[in-house]
Structure 1
Amino acid sequence: MTALTIDVHAHVLLPEIEALVGGLPGLAEARALDARRNGPAALAVNGPMVRERVPLLTDPTVRLAAMDRQGVDVQLVSPSPSHYHYWADEETAEKLCRLAGEATAAHCSAAPDRLRGLGLVPLQHPRLAVRALDHALEQGLSGVEISSHAPGRELSDPAYEPLWSRAEESGAVLFLHPFGCTLDERLDQWYLSNTVGQPTENAVALSHLIFSGVLDRHPGLKVIAAHGGGYLPTHIGRSDHAWSTRSDAGAGCAHLPSSYLKRLYFDSLVHDPHVLGELVRVAGPDRVCLGSDYPFDMGTEDPVGALRAARLSEADFDAVRGGNAAALLNLIPA
């Protein structure tokens, strides 16, 4: 029996989504906010970077050839986070999520033994989220991708309780991938909006899930945090200290914050073998999965090589390379 190599962090671009929202009220304002947060220098690089990768993002044949070069057997494919459009009204958001699920499922149908997909839910409209999750699962997708927050709502918001309950009950995967950082213009130079913003958003979102007790109430949730969970896993000792010494910090969750890392999953995309080794240590070798951020420039073109550089034990290497994701996605090696 051959172990699978499984990449849980890979994206698909869905032109149908952008056609749906094009020209709608709110789009221009959202794009202006995105431009303000990233700054002109980043936008000047982002446009050409994405355009040259369109075949990698849209053509399953090109994707599969790239996977072969990387030695990846299976990708968990999620929509580009640029498709969230959390500004959209209820009617548009519901159409968008249905379209995202159907289009992602169609993309993955080109090679169902190698491509598994995720849909989207409208975090800005919590009452629609369960229906969107169910629709994604009906398309044969493994779950949904969510950002670190929606406008005016953190992931600790009680309005999301039905979503967490349904995801836990159904076994759906929730892939936590931020898009945009609320530090705004403080990060609008040198691509700090991504290099600092993404790991910050990951840490904030995971802290809301932990400290609010979401993971106490829903211990069976399957949450995969992109970018290795950001800053939180390597700085979790500060959270433990606050929980232990302050009544306000410890009021919402039952256990030390660090203990919840072993209830979450993390991708391996941290760009530093020492940080990856620490992530495996604090979360456990059964809680880290291979991730590449295919095919964007902030990812890695050699995810297996990046994992090998962490010098894990053979058993831990095999678990991260694919064993953990195979169990998470209910895949049986051939």
Structure 2
Amino acid sequence: MFDMHTHFIPEDVLLWIKDHKRLVNAEWVKREEKSVAFLTVNNKWGFELKESFIDSSLYLQEQEKAGVLHSLISPIPQLFLYDFPEEITKELSSVYNLSLAKWVKNHNKKLSSLATIPLNNPSQAAKELRSAMELGLKGAIIGPSLENLMLTNNCFSSFWEEANYQKAIIFIHPLLCEDSRLKNRMMPNLIGIPWETTICATDLLLSGFLDKYPHVRILLAHGGGFLPYQIGRLNKGYNKWANVSKSLQGLPSEYLCRFWFDTVLWSDDSLNYLIKTVGEEKVVPGSDFPFDLSSWPPVFYNEKAVYSLLNNER
């Protein structure tokens, strides 16, 4: 069993945050006497700092206990730091990527990793992606947008050109949605996160992006959000409106199958629909471990899908 969606924070990264806690407004807060501390960066993006996030030995023990033979590690979205000056984002990205590269090199049969990059400076993001892949990482995890700039904006061209050249895995993973209508009942997490993926992936699909950068391996978190379920609506729009179809060479449903999707859905019916819609060779096992809403261990395994995603030979 493989796990293509899991997160970890190396010790060097945690030390960097502690050393720069004023710079990035980091706080460790315990909500109850015996509880694990919550880490909050820049007065938002708080999450429970479980031992599985930061203890490499424990992580590997949990991996073995769950029967996972190999994990693709991702940095956590809460530490993208896109809302900070680019030199801060770049510094943490370098620390994070070097730390992960050292860890996976020592456990290369059990671990692979993605990088984090300073997306707030796309040309620097391209350089960091190149450096990370030279260290042996497989690509990068990124957010779905940047200050209301969609990923198809021309300002990101240098990054996508490098990702295309490297045949990199680019894992699109949203942060909590900041829509003011979703303040209550955990809705920023429950529906805001898959909604952000839906917006980003739909924009990528309809823009002609997948034809422009055909060698980028784009993995969509949480089963692709709501996009697979509404692909029929996109097909209908393609047949009705020229401004939907003008950048495409075929139906949106044909492009949907050019993404990869993880299995973090918590519903057999939803997963079966996804597999039927895009093909099992495009659905890779994922868990989102060790976040609260993890599907641990992954519930589906397809060897062909895993190896097609991981193979980045040029």
TM-score normalized by the length of structure 1: 0.83
AA partner of residue 153 (structure 1): L
Give the match for residue 124 of structure 1: 120
- Between the aligned partners of 1:219 and 1:92, the Cα distance in structure 2 is 32
Give the match for residue 98 of structure 2: 102
AA partner of residue 6 (structure 2): A
> 2:76 matched to 1:80?
yes
Question: C-alpha displacement at 1:122, in angstroms?
Answer: 1.7
Aligned-partner SS, 2:280: coil
Runs of at least 5 residues in structure 2 that lack an aligned partner in the other structure: 28-39
- Between the aligned partners of 1:147 and 1:124, the Cα distance in structure 2 is 11
Aligned-partner SS, 1:291: coil
- Between the aligned partners of 2:60 and 2:143, the Cα distance in structure 1 is 26
Give the match for residue 17 of structure 2: 18
Aligned-partner SS, 1:248: helix
Give the match for residue 326 of structure 1: 307
Cα separation, partners in 2 of 1:103 and 1:207, compared to 1, 3 Å: same
Question: C-alpha displacement at 1:30, in angstroms?
Answer: 7.1
AA partner of residue 70 (structure 2): V
Aligned-partner SS, 1:24: coil
- Between the aligned partners of 2:3 and 2:88, the Cα distance in structure 1 is 31
Give the match for residue 136 of structure 1: 132
| RMSD of aligned residue pairs (Cα, Å) | 2.1
Cα separation, partners in 2 of 1:119 and 1:20, compared to 1, 3 Å: farther
Question: C-alpha displacement at 1:9, in angstroms?
Answer: 0.3
Give the match for residue 229 of structure 2: 234
Cα separation, partners in 2 of 1:210 and 1:88, compared to 1, 3 Å: same
Aligned-partner SS, 1:286: helix
Greater per-residue helix proportion: 1
Aligned-partner SS, 1:76: strand
Identity %: 28
Question: C-alpha displacement at 1:328, in angstroms?
Answer: 2.1
Cα separation, partners in 2 of 1:329 and 1:25, compared to 1, 3 Å: closer
Spell out, residue by residue over 1:21-51, the C-alpha distance to the aligned partner (whole angstroms, 9 max, x if none).
522278799734x37xxxxxxx6xx4xxx23
- Determine if contact 1:222/1:264 at 8 Å carries over to the other structure: yes
Runs of at least 5 residues in structure 1 that lack an aligned partner in the other structure: 36-42, 308-317
Cα separation, partners in 2 of 1:215 and 1:231, compared to 1, 3 Å: same
Question: C-alpha displacement at 1:129, in angstroms?
Answer: 1.5
- Between the aligned partners of 1:165 and 1:254, the Cα distance in structure 2 is 21
Give the match for residue 197 of structure 2: 202
Cα separation, partners in 2 of 1:72 and 1:25, compared to 1, 3 Å: closer
Deviates more, 1:136-145 or 1:16-25: 16-25
Equivalences for 1:1-334 in 2 at 5 Å? 5-13=1-9, 14-19=13-18, 21-24=20-23, 31-32=42-43, 34=44, 46=47, 50-51=48-49, 53=50, 55-183=51-179, 185-304=180-299, 307=300, 318-319=301-302, 322-330=303-311
Cα separation, partners in 2 of 1:231 and 1:17, compared to 1, 3 Å: farther
- Determine if contact 1:27/1:87 at 8 Å carries over to the other structure: no
- Determine if contact 1:20/1:96 at 8 Å carries over to the other structure: no
- The size of the alignment, in residue pairs, is 297
AA partner of residue 229 (structure 1): G
Question: C-alpha displacement at 1:158, in angstroms?
Answer: 1.3
- Between the aligned partners of 1:147 and 1:6, the Cα distance in structure 2 is 23
Give the match for residue 30 of structure 2: none
AA partner of residue 297 (structure 2): D
Question: C-alpha displacement at 1:17, in angstroms?
Answer: 4.8
Cα separation, partners in 2 of 1:112 and 1:229, compared to 1, 3 Å: same
Aligned-partner SS, 1:145: strand
- Between the aligned partners of 1:232 and 1:16, the Cα distance in structure 2 is 38
Moved over 4 A (4+): 25-30
